[in-house]
């Protein structure tokens, strides 16, 4: 388990450093306070999630670490990469926006967006707690059982719902209207992935068809 812990810490550290470099190099300033607050949200999320699940459910961390490598099919890998690319461009363009003063987002909207991103992280945390098999790839393991409690009683894909909060409000949190264009790109890629995952689960996860009838909404309660 020490090896898993080291891999998890190494992975999250690399991600946080990369995020910081993208944010502040593109902004070309350390006075980008929106960037600092946004980056701090990711730091806090990492500090909470890694220790919690290493103690409570280390197998979950192991699955998350190996998930991306288990992704099957060229189309799925492409969509996964598109999400990553759009995320990168979204963050980078927000920094460029700050550098050249392209947008003027009021402080209260930035703070509201940060709060909503925090809610997104909380939804994902609850999803992880409820479902130890919430992988970063589309797959079903032999011993995996259907989960219909907690956030799964509200929508069928609560991890995506939490991610929706994060990607919709990240541009505003970073003080950029223009970055919304790329945030929408992330969301479209995510929806394509969600629909593909749903087809896969219908075929491969026992009881999922009945679960679909019980929980009507995929992503947004009372909407879709």
Q: Mind listing the pLDDT tens digit for each residue in 57-95? A: 888 888 777 655 556 667 778 888 899 999 999 999 999
> Residue 40 pLDDT more than 60?
yes
- The residues, any chain, with a CB within 8 Å of residue 177's CB and separated by 6 or more, are 97, 102, 103, 105, 171
pTM (2 d.p.):
0.92
Which residue has better confidence, 106 or 5?
A: 106
% pLDDT > 70, the chain: 95
> Residue 190 pLDDT more than 90?
yes
Which residue has better confidence, 118 or 4?
A: 118
Q: Which domains does the chain have, with CATH numbers?
A: 2-136+147-214 (1.20.120.1630)
Least confident of 13-22, 127-136, 143-152, 190-199: 127-136
- Whole-angstrom Cα distance, residue 157 to residue 21? 31
- The number of beta carbons lying within 10 Å of the beta carbon of residue 28 is 12
Q: Note the pLDDT tens digit of each residue in 133-177.
A: 877 667 777 778 889 999 999 999 999 999 999 999 999 999 999
The answer to whether 120 and 163 have CB atoms below 8 angstroms apart is yes
pLDDT averaged over every residue in the chain: 91
- Please give the average per-residue pLDDT across 106-123, as a whole number: 98
The answer to whether 170 and 110 have CB atoms below 8 angstroms apart is no
Report residue 121's pLDDT band, with 50, 70 and 90 as the boundaries: very high
């Amino acid at each position: 388990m020490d090896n898993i812990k080291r891999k998890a810490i190494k992975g999250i550290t690399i991600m946080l450093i990369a995020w910081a470099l993208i944010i502040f190099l593109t902004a070309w300033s350390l006075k980008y306070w929106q960037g600092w607050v946004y980056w701090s949200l990711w730091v806090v999320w990492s500090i909470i999630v890694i220790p919690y699940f290493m103690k409570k459910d280390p197998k979950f961390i192991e699955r998350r670490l190996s998930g991306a490598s288990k992704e099957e099919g060229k189309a799925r890998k492409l969509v996964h990469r598109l999400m990553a690319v759009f995320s990168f461009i979204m963050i980078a363009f927000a920094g460029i926006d700050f550098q050249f003063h392209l947008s003027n987002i009021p402080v209260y909207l930035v703070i509201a967006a940060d709060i909503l991103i925090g809610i997104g992280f909380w939804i994902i945390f609850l999803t992880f707690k409820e479902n130890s098999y919430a992988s970063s790839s589309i797959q079903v393991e032999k011993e995996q059982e259907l989960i219909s409690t907690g956030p799964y009683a509200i929508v069928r894909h609560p991890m995506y719902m939490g991610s929706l909060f994060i990607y919709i409000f990240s541009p505003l949190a970073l003080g950029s209207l223009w970055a919304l264009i790329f945030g929408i790109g992330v969301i479209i890629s995510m929806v394509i992935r969600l629909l593909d995952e749903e087809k896969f689960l219908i075929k491969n996860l026992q009881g999922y068809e009945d679960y679909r009838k019980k929980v009507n909404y995929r992503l947004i309660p009372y909407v879709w």
